[in-house]
Structures are given as C-alpha cells and as structure tokens.
Structure 1
Amino acid sequence: MSSELVLLRTADHPFAGHLEIAELRHEVVPEPPEGRALGRADLLGGLSPHDKWRAEWIVDRAQRETEVAYLFGPGDDEGFTRTLGMEAARAGVEVEVVYYLLAPKGTALLGLVAVEQRLRGPGGCPWDHEQTHATLAPYAVEEVYELLDAIAGGDPDAIREELGDVLLQVVFHAQVAEDEQRFTIDDVAQGITDKLVGRHPHVFAGATVESADEVVANWEDLKAAEKPERTGPFDGIPAALPALQYAEKLQRRAARTGFDWTADAEAADRVRAELDEFLAAADGGVRERELGDLLLSVVGLARRHQIDPEMALRGAARRFRDRFSTMGERADRALGDLTREQWLALWEAAKAAEGTDEPA
C-alpha cells in the first residue's frame, strides 16, 4: 500500500499489528451515530444507513488527505465496498480498497512485538526497563526446561503455553538490543531465515540428497563454510551445555574426524570396562574420575544407538518420580516404616501399573 493513511473498520483488525510495526499511519473508522435516516434514492438502492455513514466519513477523510486506503476486514462485505465506491465517485476522490483472504501465519507475533515494545517504551514497565541480556539469561534457561517438561508430558496446551514463554524471551532480547541500537527482531528473523534457506539447498537450490543422514552431513559442511574462523574440532560447542549434551556433542565432533568405534559392540564393551575400573577405584578422588569416564562411555553407547542421552535420562528421572509417588499413595503405612521387601513389592507394582488404567 502506497497510501499515506490506512483506514480500518475496527481496532482489532488482523492487520492492525502489521501497520503498527511498519509505522504506517492508520485510523479506525468511528461507529456511526444512531438514528441516521437515508434518502429515498438510497433506500431504493438497498443501502444500509451504517454503510452509508461510514462511506461518507471515509470519503471526507480522503478529501482531506493526499491518498487514502481502506483495508477490507472482518465485518465488511461487497455491499459496503460498492457503497464506498459510489460515494467516492460522487465526491470525485479516489479511495484504494485493499483486500485480503486470510491473515498470514505470524500475524499474532506482531502483537507480541508491539506489547514488548510498549513495555520497554516510555511509560512502560519499570521491571522491563531494567532488564539486560545478562539479567534475562536465567529466565531463558528456565523457560526452555519448562518446555522440555511440557513436551515430556505430552500435553499440547502446556507445550503451546511454554513455547509462548520461550518466544517471549526471543522478543524480549531483541527489544533490548533494539533499544541499544544493535539489532532488531527483524534482523533476528531474517538471519535465521537466511540460514535455513542456505543450509537447505536440496529444498531451495536444486541440490539432491538421498537420506536424512546426508542432510545432516551437508548441514555441518555448510555450517563450517559459513564460519571459517572455527578451525578446531570443538569450536562453537558451548561449554555451558548440560553435561550429557556437552559430552555427546564433543564425541560427535570427534567421530567426524574418524575417532569412533567401528561397531556398536565396542561401545558396550567400553561401558563394562569403565564400570570395572570404577568398582576397583581405591579412593573418592579416583572414583569420581572413573565415574566420569563411565558416564562418558554411556554417552558414547547412546550416541552409537542414536539415542539422546539427555532426554533418555530425563525420561528415566520422570519415571522414577512417578513410580515413587505411586508407591507413597499405595503404601498402607508411613514410608519410613516399610521393610525392604515391602519397598521392592511397591516398586514393582508401580512399575507394572505404568501405561495402564490401573488406579494408583
């Protein structure tokens, strides 16, 4: 739209956020007064009093502006646009009517961007004003873990909610950067868009791949080409990652250079060997080191079998929590009064009840 003023029927028009973010001048057409009468010719022509009044108001604005556009929206129909066209022709002015079919995906994101801009803007929220990338960092970590919990729980509503919280972190950080005149949310979105297009030549550039594994290999090669300053095998792996994920990424990078087991059975043998070394350790310091080696070998076993060790351990921890809660519900006495045999019996019963409709 090249018009200097865009008019909307209502303030909640699906594209109002777009206009706000694009800083396009826009106004909402006011509601017509009650009791407005039409002339005989208008009545014979089937005009609505409200449509007639709105059309006249828009034409009046067009007469006072260089260019005006009316953005067709919910509640509008062809009858109104015909009325608007007739009134504009009668007054000798031009009003551009812009149509849309469906609001594009992502329209609501503009509303989130506008809200955060308002919170960080003049007269906004004092807490939001004080935040920096560093102070927000813990919240980003927390929100991601809450998303993981929602995914593990399999509740779509919870996943949707937690994705929103993660999305807020992205928008919040981008607004902080914009306030510091470093980059904007559009820079963030454009950067990841360019990256995805560039790393999917089999989709956007006519390249050919035979499997998902080949896609992953190409991704790593393209990523390396984008960042030639990363010359070491472990460059770019954040040391702050959770330990299991950090270990898995280190091993995966090492494997790309050829440092890997030739068979899955060798990875399993390494786990047994590290367990023996741990059991044979003489003191606490050595045991800690050997336990680390044992855990690292388990990560290697998981990698060989295409299992994410972080998610596998989270799943096991969740099952442990659920089973223990079930044991407490089923116990006929205080947990501290149970014998070892009773503990084991309750544990096996809780384990057997998983995935069934059996009450706890």
Structure 2
Amino acid sequence: MKTIHIIGLGAGDLDQLPLGVYKKLKNAERLYVRTADHPVLTELVEEGLAYKSFDEIYEKHDSFAPVYKEIADTLLELSAEGPVVYAVPGHPLVAEQTVQHLIEAEESGSCQLIIEGGSSFLDAVFGALRIDPIDGFQLVDGTTMESDRLNMTQHILIAQIYDTFSASEAKLTLMEKYPDAYPVTIVTAAGSADEKLRTVPLHELDRAAEIDNLTTVYVPPSTDMQERLKEWQTFRSVIAKLRSPDGCPWDREQTHESLMPYLMEEAHELLQAIDEQDDDAIAEELGDVLLQVFLHSQIGQDNGYFQLEDVLEAISAKMIRRHPHVFSDTQVGGSDEVVSNWQEIKAQEKPVADSLLDGQERFSSSLTTSFNFQKRAAKVGFTWPDAEAAWNKFQEELQEFRNELANGSKEQQLDEFGDLLFTLVNIARFYNLSPEQAMVQANRKFRSRFSFVEKKVNDGTGSFSDYTLEQLDSFWNEAKILARKGE
C-alpha cells in the first residue's frame, strides 16, 4: 500500500516546531515540501536538511487549484516507489488543499496517510490579534472567497493571501460589502520572532509591503448597523425591530390582510420602473417589494406559523424540483420543453382540482382573472374559433349594453357592461395581449396627457372653467403630438 507521511511545519520559525516533528523531518529519507518558502525549512537547510519542493509546479499554472491537484497526483506516483514524507506549512488539516486531495485518494483505497504535527496558524493569529474565537469567526480562502458568504458580525480570517495580486482580489471581494475605509489587519508570521501586524484601510490592502505566504488578513466584526446595510440579516433585524414592542406602532399593527394593498401598489410601481427601463428605480422598487416579503415573514414568525427560513426553503425546493434539467440529469431540447416540464411537475404537486378554473382567480385584478379563466377554458376547446368570431361577439354585447342603457335597470346595465369587458379581454387573448398591462399603459398615458392639459391651464388662467371643452381637447391633442415626437 502506498504510504504518505504528512507533517505540518507550523506557522512560525523553528523554535515553535515540536521536538517530535523536528526529529521526523531530520530523519526523513524521501522528504518533499509543498513550498520551500517557510522559515522552518530555511533554518533546517542550514543544519543540512535535504528535501525537494514543488515550487516549480506553481509556475506551470495560472491558478492554485490545478497546482494542488498536480502536487497530490505527483505524491501518489512517488509513493508507489516507497513511503514518502510530505511537509506543508501550518497544520496539514487546516487550509491545505493538497492534503484534502490526498484524503480523497485514501478514501478510495489508493493510499494510506499518516498525518501529524505542526500547530496551525490559527492559534498564533488569535494570540497576535488578542481575539477570542468563541465570539464566532470565519476562516476563508482568499483565492475563492465570495462576498455573500461573509458574515460581517464575526471575526474573519483570510488565508491564501500570497502576493499583491491575491491581496487585490480579496480587497475587491471585501469591498462588495465593506466600506472602502474599513480597517483590516495584515498579520505576517504570527507567533514567530518576525511577527508583524499592520492595520490599514481596506482600499490599501494590496499596497502593503508585508504580504507573503505567511500572511493572514484579519477583518474585525462590524458593530455599526449602518456599515452592514448590504447584509440580509441586517434587513431582517430592521424589520424585527420595527415589529417589536419598542418599535413602530404602525408596523406592529399590520397584518397579512392590511398589507395586501401595499404589496399590489409596490408590484405595480416595480412594473412601471421596468417598463421605463429605469435601473435606479428598479432597484428601489425591488427593495419595496422585498420589504413586503420580509414584513409578511416577520408577521408569520410573530404569530408562530412560519418564518423567513420556511419561505426560503419552500421556494428553493420548488426551483430545484422544477428544474431537473439543471439540478438533475434530465435533458431538454429548449425553453419550450422547459415550460412543458414545469407545467407537468406543477400539476403533480397540486391536488386534483374540482374545476379547471380553480386557482385562476387573482384578487388584485379582475382583468387578469378574466384573462386566466378564458385562457384555461380555451385549452379544452371552449373558445371562439378565431378572432373574427370574438369581434362579432363584442358587437353583440355592445348592442345589448346599449339596449340596457336605454331601458334597463342599473343592475342590468352593470351586468351587460361586465359582459362587454369580458369580451374585450377575450379579444386581447386572441392577439396575445395582456389586458392588465394594456390598462396600466392606458392609465399612465392618460395621466401624462392630462398633466400636460393641467400645465397648459395653470400657465394660462389657472382655472379649468375658463376653457371650453374644445380648447381643453386641443391641449390634449398637443400632448399626443408631443408624445409621438418623444418630447
């Protein structure tokens, strides 16, 4: 069986190395090291220690992942000729990807590992910074760090910061969340005689001279909520505070039902921002919609029925379940097949409905409800054969409405007007038009043109009563002309 003896060199100089590890290194017949750039090796060379490093592999690749993989593969090949000793900085099981590759090989039966020795750099860093990890800390790899996984309320230690380039990459990632001037501490050779600590503003992280393979970057916890406004947890805390006994009276009084009009209003304002292609407004309106989601989630938590985690779990599970072509091995030929699979999976999830129209009502819009009803009925053939037939039905309903206006009661007039609107929605369906969006655009257009009429009146006498309908209509037509010209 291939045998690889893995030894940690510790985080500092030779004085920190345990005696047992020192003896094993001195007695090793086939010693390989990931990198020769370590103070322990520098001192041992002076004592006559011989070894071979893998530094040359770093020069062959543009990123670290293939470097670590090649080192592990090379060690496996070398161990076929007899046991080898492999030395790594720090502790072999802390932030050492080559060892993780070797552990995978051991689990598959390809080799046998003996792992020992070497204190990790964590103890030395904690001591140098005078911090207690019980408060919560994150150890992250600076080469693969993602900002959305960083918790700004915890101590953050960033390893694998070797040079100016890696420091720059880490800086840019941190600046996605942290203020540019946020203080970070560069820790070099922690625990050794050469230990150095330097605190700099975040934006200067990659300009510091003390960056080498013994560098760790420390980001302290943020205690200022204003600094953490990009954190999801901060927003959740804000909403919880508003709903708390010492929060806002209005927010405490809200229920799912009382918030319904606000959700509809915010959704329409978002649609308007999207229609106007206003990115700043879209971001703002998305925030307003998100506020409604968090408020409803907090109400659910306050009442003991559900909380935000339940909302996230439900929607994440649904997205994974309904995208088997992404999260499983299902193959699709295009977006049409994706939609077909979605509908099939959705049908399997829902209980059998008593009616085809079940679940098609939309509380916020009778237009959308009408559209959904007619679209669902059309799927089983209950529809006019073509748009021309729908137009004929519209003319019929229009005449019936006129008749009721002349002779019918208010209830009959309302009934026939509803039939007329229902037929118009059907016509929109034949032409693949959204009646709801059409109404939104009509309202927006009316507001814009009427505002122009108001301005013309205010620029004149200031009173609508001083103008004839023909004059007001001329202002309206002027607004139409200007709109067509894009003015």
Verify same fold: TM over 0.5.
yes
Counterpart of 2:330 in structure 1 is 206
Among 180, 183, 187, the residue aligned to 1:55: 187
1:109 aligned residue = 232
Q: Deviations 1:323-349 (Å, cap 9, x if unpaired)?
A: 122223335554323334333333222
Distance 1:347 1:53, change over 3 A: closer
Write the distance in 2 (CA, Å) between the matches of 1:196 and 1:16.
Answer: 20
1:1-360 matched pairs, under 5 angstroms: 5-6=136-137, 18-19=150-151, 26-27=154-155, 55=187, 76-77=205-206, 82=212, 85=214, 108-120=231-243, 124-125=247-248, 127-204=250-327, 205-210=329-334, 212=336, 215-238=338-361, 240-281=363-404, 282-283=407-408, 284-331=410-457, 332-333=460-461, 334-356=463-485, 358=487
Distance 1:250 1:221 in 2: 20
Tell me, in whole angstroms, the C-alpha distance in 1 between the residues paired with 2:240 and 2:411: 52
Q: Any idea what SS the aligned residue of 1:55 has?
A: strand
**Structure 1 residue 75 displacement after superposition:** 5.2
Q: CA deviation at 1:52?
A: 12
Q: Deviations over 1:122-161 (max 9, x none)?
A: 7655554444333433332332233234334442222211
Distance 2:184 2:358 in 1: 67
- After superposition, the Cα gap between the structure-2 partners of 1:117 and 1:18, relative to the gap in structure 1 and judged at 3 Å, is farther
Report deviation, 1:217: 4.4
In structure 2, distance between residues paired with 1:82 and 1:122: 52
Residues 186 and 218 of structure 2 are in contact (CA less than 8 Å); yes or no, is this contact kept in structure 1?
no
Provide the rounded CA distance (Å) in 2 between the counterparts of 1:128 and 1:254.
42
Q: What SS does the aligned partner of 1:280 have?
A: helix
Residues 52 and 127 of structure 1: CA distance in aligned 2, closer, same or farther (over 3 Å): closer
Shift of 1:290: 0.8
Cα 1:180–1:56 shift into 2, 3 Å: farther
Q: Distance in 2 between matches of 1:118 and 1:17?
A: 24
SS in 2 for 1:19: coil
Q: Structure 1 residues 189 and 256 mapped into 2: Cα distance closer, same or farther (>3 Å)?
A: same
Please, which moves more after superposition, 303-312 or 129-138?
129-138
Q: Look up the match of 1:41.
A: none
Per the alignment, do residues 96 and 230 of structure 1 end up closer, same or farther by CA in structure 2, a change over 3 Å counting?
farther
**Which has the larger Rg?**
2
- How far apart, CA to CA, are the structure 2 residues paired with 1:183 and 1:168? 17
1:124/1:318 Cα in 2 relative to 1: closer, same or farther (>3 Å)? closer
2: CA distance, partners of 1:201 / 1:343? 59
Deviations 1:157-202 (A, max 9, x none): 2221111010011122222323444333232123222222333345
Q: Using the TM superposition, give the Cα deviation of residue 15 of structure 1 relative to its aligned residue in structure 2, in angstroms.
A: 5.3
Contact conserved, 1:244 with 1:310, CA < 8 A, in 2? yes
Is the Cα–Cα contact under 8 Å of residues 187 and 217 in structure 2 kept in the other structure? Answer: no
After superposition, the Cα gap between the structure-2 partners of 1:146 and 1:229, relative to the gap in structure 1 and judged at 3 Å, is: same
Query: Per-residue deviation at 1:269?
Result: 1.8
Instruction: Call closer, same or farther: CA 1:188–1:314 in 2, change over 3 Å.
Output: same
Q: Aligned residue for 1:70?
A: none
Cα gap change, 1:219 to 1:303, in 2 (>3 Å): farther
Shift of residue 76 of structure 1? Answer: 4.0
Q: Encode CA deviations 1:47-77: one digit per residue, 9 max, x unaligned.
A: xxxx9986399869xxxxxxxxxxxx76545
Instruction: Call closer, same or farther: CA 1:236–1:74 in 2, change over 3 Å.
Output: farther
Structure 2: which 5+ runs fail to align? 1-93, 96-132, 140-144, 158-182, 193-201, 220-228
* TM-aligned CA distance change 1:7 to 1:351, over 3 Å: same
Amino acid at match of 1:345: S
Aligned length: 300
- Cα 1:345–1:180 change in 2 (3 A) is closer
Query: Percent identity of the aligned residues?
Result: 35
**Counterpart-to-counterpart distance in 2, 1:343 and 1:130:** 46
Flag the 1:125–1:338 CA change in 2: closer, same or farther, 3 A.
Answer: closer
**Root mean square deviation, CA, Å:** 4.0
Describe the superposition over 1:260-314 as per-residue Cα deviations: whole angstroms up to 9, x where unpaired.
Answer: 2221222222212211111122213222111100000000111111111011011
Q: Is the 8 A contact 1:7 1:28 kept in 2?
A: yes
- Which residue number corresponds to residue 88 of structure 2? none
SS in 1 for 2:259: helix
1:227–1:80 distance in 2 versus 1, CA, 3 Å:
farther
The alignment partner of 2:187 has SS state of helix
User: Which region of structure 1 is more displaced relative to structure 2, 201-210 or 291-300?
Assistant: 201-210
Give secondary structure in 1 for the equivalent of 2:137.
strand
**Aligned-pair distance for 1:120?**
4.2
Which amino acid in structure 2 is aligned with residue 159 of structure 1?
I
More off after superposition, 120-129 vs 184-193? 120-129
d(CA) in 2 for partners of 1:172 and 1:225?
31
8 Å CA contact 1:18–1:110 kept in 2: the answer is no
More strand as a share of residues: 2
The CA deviation at 1:203 is 4.4
> In 1, Cα distance between the equivalents of 2:369 and 2:476?
33
C-alpha distance in structure 2 between counterparts of 1:123 and 1:343, whole Å: 53
